[in-house]
Amino acid sequence: MSLNVEQLQQEVEFQLSQLDFPKQPESLYDPLRYMLSLGGKRMRPILVLLANNLFGGKMEQAMPAALGLEVFHNFTLLHDDIMDKAPLRRGNSTVHEKWNGNIAILSGDAMFVKSCQLITQTHSAAMPDVMNLFLKTALEVCEGQQLDMDFETRETVDVDEYIEMIKLKTAVLVGACLGIGAQIAGATEEEVKHAYDFGVNLGVAFQLQDDILDVYGDEQKFGKQVGGDIIANKKTFLLLTALKNASGETASKLQHWLNYQGDDNLTKVNAIKEIYAALHVKQSAETKMNDLYSEALSHLDALPIDQNRTTALRKLSSMLMLRES
């Protein structure tokens, strides 16, 4: 059966709305309901369902884990928002702003428990493997978030360390979605590994594209201020590549703008973009991104299944890689 991504998205949205949380205590469960109501692309559960379908699994068997992974993803957003002191999430107040920090910590904890409960609803033959991959991934996501925070205060960060950080912080969860979908369908260990590796490589590529869009995106389509990473001196792939490749006067100029304390952000953004252009930083990022995307697709190619089954997943990946927001 071939699956339509938009239909899957609607189905996931409906199933999420049907999740049953206790009424009391309101101050614990209202933030959970709120987080899940803020929307999003629901990419993770859709990837679980597509991977499951790839190996002939039934959608209803993969749905609890698919929802569990979406709930887990939202739990990480909830706690990350506290740590980042973020005021907004998808254009709405974050939980710690709308309620308070304590409620955000605790409802996040409850959300994590809820995600585990959904995972345990997986049929018993697959459950142990699914749970192991899920928990291994959850721990790696914590490691990635910690590295991200560590990098903020570190003097120097290597480009490879950055790739490792985004791999842990975001890509392994994409990989786990694919791997878990495959596990639930009863795929072999090798097939699960290919599905997982497809997801991890896609996830890193996706994150690099985020870095690129933050500088070169169309403000209208991107939906947030272009250049935000530059203004904040965020150690992205672009900045780290520039720091690695700059020398002489270019290096001094770059350092000057990184130390800049003024408020003429537009001039800063343009100056750093000029340095990026001189150092071909955008091309470096695009090359890396395309390599990762190819690597991802090679894992689909390697699957010993009818390649027609991979069409929906390939279409979705290419949409994700061509996105402008």
Interface positions with a second copy (CB under 8 A)? 22, 24-25, 27-28, 79, 82-83, 102-103, 105-110, 112-114, 116-117, 120, 124, 127-128, 131-132, 135-136, 138-139, 142-143, 145-147, 149-150
Q: Which two tokens stand for residue 173?
A: 């969860």
**Residue 117 or 283: which CB sits closer to a second copy?**
117
Contacts of 302 (CB under 8 A, 6+ apart): 194
Please list, in sequence order, all residues whose beta carbon lies within 8 angstroms of the beta carbon of residue 224, skipping any fewer than 6 positions away: none
Return the exposure string of 86-110: e unless at least 16 CB atoms fall within 10 Å of the residue's CB, then b: eeebeeeebbbbebeeebbeebbeb
CA distances (Å), origin 2, targets 18, 47, 81, 194, 309: 25, 14, 37, 20, 7
Of 133 and 297, CB closest to a second copy: 133
CB of 249 to a second copy, least distance (A): 36
Q: CB-wise, 99 or 260, nearer to a second copy?
A: 99
Q: What share of the chain is helix, strand, coil (3-state, %, to 5)?
A: 75, 0, 20
Least Å distance between CB 189 and a second copy?
A: 18
Structure tokens at 203: 């996830």
Among residues 122 and 284, whose Cβ is nearest to a second copy?
Answer: 122
Nearest Cα to Cα of residue 156 among 17, 255, 16, 72: 255
DSSP letter assigned to residue 236: -
CA pair distance 294, 39, nearest whole angstrom: 30
Rounded to the nearest whole angstrom, what is the least distance from the CB of residue 38 to a second copy in the complex? 20
Q: What whole-number distance in Å separates Cα of residue 227 and Cα of residue 218?
A: 11
Pick between residue 136 and residue 221 the one whose CB is nearest to a second copy: 136
Minimal distance in Å, beta carbon 73 to a second copy? 14
Q: Which is nearer to a second copy, 100 or 311 (CB)?
A: 100
**Could you tell me if 171 and 199 are in contact, meaning their C-beta atoms sit under 8 angstroms apart?**
yes
C-beta of 109: minimal distance to a second copy in Å?
5
- Least distance from C-beta 108 to a second copy, angstroms? 8
- Give whichever of 35 and 313 is closer to a second copy, judged by the CB atom: 35
Q: Count CB atoms within 10 A of the CB of residue 160.
A: 9
Q: How far is the CB of 320 from a second copy (least distance, A)?
A: 27
